[in-house]
Amino acid sequence: MDDLAQDINGFISEHNARRGMQVTRDAFPAMHPTYYAPSLMFSDQSANGPPTQSIDMSTASSSTLMSSCFDSHRPVAPRTASVLTEPPVYPPLVCEFIGLGGCNEVFDSFNDEAGWIAHISDVHLRNIFPAVCICWFCDRTFKAQSYSQADAEACYRKRMHHIAKHIRNDVPRGQMRPDFFFLNHVHDYGLIDEEMFQRARVYHEAPQIPNLYPAGWRPEYQDQRPTQLETSRSRHRDSQRYHY
């Protein structure tokens, strides 16, 4: 009799337990994984079931794990092909001795400005820097604080960085002008030969009139006088023969 009572009680307990699990599953249906925010899924469920209290979207967004990740790392709007642009291409840095010795070395004006200055300083100037120099493009003058090697080098480097900014700003090459302070310096220290120095000295910024003689030029009268005299004599003789 006791065994029968225990079996009945066990059956009833097991039945009640199963019934409770079914009620729980009906009350809270299984949630399937989804890419959408839980707040959006809640709104779909409420349409098919009994009305529930409306959910504050801002609160629901900040209360989920996914939304907290987006809150801490806000996604950047994807760039389209039309928005993406190529990096700017700057004109190259040319060697300062391109017109004084035929050096054709060029350097990247964005990534190798230091190499450009080092090339001119070491290869061509031999680290003998001018105390005074000017910009290639504007009228800015650079003067060293003293004639020491350190001050002259600092002054020259400052000038070259200034010139590099002009080149990156794509200043027309037609605005380049020679630096006669620099020209005299490299000539005095034997860094260019006499022929190159004389060729560079005759540069003029203003356009020159063709067939214009330099100042102080005089015609060579001695070479012309015999020809003129001979011409006049021959004409005189012809006129005399024609007269007879």
Give the per-residue pLDDT at 235.
Answer: 46
pLDDT tens, the chain, 244 aa long? 555 556 566 666 665 666 555 544 444 444 444 333 333 333 444 444 444 444 344 444 333 333 333 333 344 444 555 556 776 788 999 999 988 887 999 999 999 999 999 999 999 999 999 999 999 999 999 999 999 999 999 999 999 999 999 999 988 877 888 899 999 999 999 999 999 999 988 876 656 566 666 677 777 765 555 555 454 444 444 444 444 4
Beta carbons within 8 Å of 103's beta carbon, 6+ residues apart: 95, 97, 123, 124
Query: What pLDDT shows up at residue 179?
Result: 93
DSSP-derived 3-state class of residue 236: helix
Please report, to the nearest 10 degrees, the dihedral formed by the alpha carbons of residues 42, 44, 50, 51 taken in order: 70
Where are the strands (E) in 146-243, listed by range? Answer: none
Report the alpha-carbon distance of residue 172 to residue 128 in Å, rounded. Answer: 29
pTM for this model (two decimals): 0.52
Which pLDDT belongs to residue 226?
Answer: 53
pLDDT at 63: 37
Report domain extents, the chain: 93-201
Give me the pLDDT at residue 119, please: 98
